[in-house]
Amino acid sequence: MTDGTIAQQILAAKAGIEEAPTPGEHLTVEPDWILCHDISAYPGMHRMEQLGFDRVATPEKVILAFDHYVPSPNEQTTGQMNVLAEWVVEQGITHFFDAGSGISHNIMAEQGYSTPGSLILGADSHTVTHGAFGAFATGIGHTDLGEVLGTGELWLKVPETHRVILEGELPHGVDAKDLALGLMREFTTKGAIYDAIEFHGPGVANLEIHQRQTIANITVEMGAMAGMFLADELTEAFLDGQAKLPYEQVTPSATATYSSERVFEVEALEPLVAKPYAVDNIDSVASVAGTSVDQVFVGTCNNSSWGDIQEFATMMDGDEVAEGTDLIVVPGTKETLKRMNETGVSNQLIDAGAMIGTPGCGPCFGAHGGILGEGDVCVGTMNRNFPGRMGPGEIYLASPTTAAASAIHGSITDPREVV
Amino acid sequence: MRREGPAHVLPDDVDTDQIIPGEYLNTVPDEELGAYVLEGYDAAFSDRVSHGDILIAGENFGLGSSREAAPIAIREAGIGAVVAESFARIFYRNAINVGLPIAEVPGISEHVSDDDIIRVDLAQGIVENVTRDESFQINPLPPSLLDILSAGGLIPYRRNRR
Ligand code: SF4
């Protein structure tokens, strides 16, 4: 490996150059994985043809998951999915995950696609999630997808990197999502536009893999191109026996330079929310406690791993959802759903009054299911609360624990009061 | 590439869900997306837009989802160019790829009001507020990207080169 930050080293390796590239430089890189889903693959397939390519250059690197519109909400979508299912066979794409398998990012994490040092280009902005494993993973659009499908390569601009040092452990009742929201408050939605973020420090070892996913996932909301954790023993243990590619740990060199460095005291955190309508509109749960809640939604690539659902279920602890509040739980993958069934969590949540959805994105982006009405308030474990994201209502982003406490009370509730 | 027209001024942080809401993503063909442009920001926006108008935006324009429908909706609404203080990364790439002229001019919002006549010259790297007789430097676009944009996007660019 060359010198430089993780981003510089991975991009240099994938561009086949020896020297560390300078931030701002454009490199043509070959990704290890090309990710797309039911929304992006259809236009991506057409763009590829319009760009003049009949064949996918590297079908063995393509991952396609039907996750956004599952089960299909309308005729057009079903038609497009049918076309895609044929295209996959025609092009020899084998890493195909049909409707019901789960969210692309969660599937990839769970099945060992996301590995340290790999380069993942995904036609989905939350591709940054795979930084949890030390991958350089970033989102692209449909024409870019067409280009990388057709050629197996793409130009990328080498980013500057911010270094964040995490100190200490999460206090009781405080979740990795609160840490993610705390970082959001620091960086804001503009703090890392086109940059990479590296997470270092003793606090990292205290974070489980699914918690790192939550944090890496939110970095795109800071404008970041990638957000990366250094792989450690936990990463290796997780990948043991299931990594899809041989991997090499990438460590920033001593000469790596950073555009900023900040120390973040994890211990000082309290339960947080992002209030409507911006992901950096952060306040304490306490400050909005008592706000009446119409819908609680647990799911999305930000918070739907088995660990997240388990935290939510533990907090519910046999309680029921308050009258007048809907609870929707959508596991990130089929495997997570099976674990929910095996451990009795599904029945516990159904008895509590929950609706359990098909593994996938669920109501996250307002295209089907769980649409909010005018004036409705949703507490959700997702990553976006933009105006109109889930219909005309208001979204508060929160942790699974805050979501559970709020579901029980029918109003936004500090989980430490329930613990 | 030169574009000239009256301005519509937008705030900071206009995200892609506001530019084109999720419900239109796979139900509306590209050419018809213009009718819904910025609907999540202002339901009547498309009624106020005429061919050749210029969008002036604040920081971080186009943050959020990677949906390419966002710059396509703006292009299909006939908007000549988007001048913003800064662009979100994926939107920036997508805009170039679909041939929507974009120009990054820090501080521009303070120098433009709605309906001011704006002239954008990408080759010269200059944005002018004709109404106020002020001009501003564009953060330069690398020549390779300017070529793609001038061709009208990546698809025509590749066709021309074949
Ligand atoms: S869960 Fe939501 S944020 Fe994640 S990929 Fe699906 S729609 Fe996007």
Helices (H) and strands (E) in chain B, counts: 6, 7
pLDDT at res. B72: 97
Pocket residues for ligand 1 (CB within 6 Å)? A 68, 103, 124, 126, 300-301, 361, 364-365, 382-383
Residues of A in contact with B41 (CB under 8 A): 387
Residues with Cβ within 8 Å of residue A141, at least 6 apart in sequence: A123, B66, B67, B68, B90, B93, B94, B97
- pLDDT category at B160 given cuts 50, 70, 90 is confident
Distance in angstroms (rounded) separating the CA atoms of residues A30 and A32? 7
Q: Which of residues 198-217 of A touch B (CB under 8 A)?
A: none
From the CA of A300, give the closest atom in ligand 1: 1
Number of domains in chain B: 1
Could you read off the pLDDT of A334-356 as tens digits, one per residue?
A: 999 999 999 999 999 999 999 99
pLDDT at res. A14: 98
When pLDDT is averaged across residues A96-120 and rounded to a whole number, the result is 98
- Checking if the pLDDT of B162 tops 90, the result is no
Residues with Cβ within 8 Å of residue A233, at least 6 apart in sequence: none
- pLDDT category at A419 given cuts 50, 70, 90 is low
Distance from CA of B103 to the nearest CA of A (A): 16
- Checking if the pLDDT of B23 tops 90, the result is no
Q: Which residues pair with B119 in a beta bridge?
A: B4, B128
Which residue ranges form the domains of chain A, and what is each CATH number?
6-266 (3.30.499.10), 273-417 (3.30.499.10)
Q: Smallest Cβ distance to B26: which of A76, A141, A225?
A: A76
Q: Residue B62 maps to which CATH number?
A: 3.20.19.10
Could you read off the pLDDT of A261-289 as tens digits, one per residue?
A: 999 999 999 999 999 999 999 999 999 99
pLDDT at res. A333: 98
DSSP letter string, B39-66: TTT-TTHHHH--TT-EEEE-TTBTBS--
Is B26 in Cβ contact with A39 (below 8 Å)?
yes
Distance in angstroms (rounded) separating the CA atoms of residues A107 and A105? 5
When pLDDT is averaged across residues A325-342 and rounded to a whole number, the result is 98
- Enter the tokens of residue A32: 């290890």
Residues of A in contact with B36 (CB under 8 A): none
Do residues A61 and A34 make contact, with C-beta atoms less than 8 angstroms apart?
A: yes
Task: Kindly report the average pLDDT of chain B as a whole number.
Answer: 95
Stated as kind and residue range, the H or E segment containing B158 is: helix B154-161
For chain B, what percent of residues have pLDDT higher than 70? Answer: 100
Alpha carbon of A297 to ligand 1 centroid (Å): 13
Residues with Cβ within 8 Å of residue A405, at least 6 apart in sequence: A315, A413, A414, A415, A417, A418
From the CA of A362, give the closest atom in ligand 1: 1
- Enter the tokens of residue A312: 């939510």
Distance from CA of A379 to the nearest CA of B (A): 19
Task: Kindly report the average pLDDT of chain A as a whole number.
Answer: 97
From chain B, which residues contact A within 8 Å (Cβ)? 12-13, 15, 17-18, 21-23, 25-27, 40-41, 59-60, 63-68, 86-90, 93-94, 97-98, 142, 144, 153-155, 158-159, 162
Residues with Cβ within 8 Å of residue A70, at least 6 apart in sequence: A38, A99, A100, A358, A359, A360, A361
Q: What is the pTM of this model?
A: 0.96
- Checking if the pLDDT of A209 tops 80, the result is yes
Full residue range of the structural domain in which residue B94 is found: 2-161
Angle between helices A306-316 and A209-218 (to 10 degrees): 100
Distance from CA of A148 to the nearest CA of B (A): 12
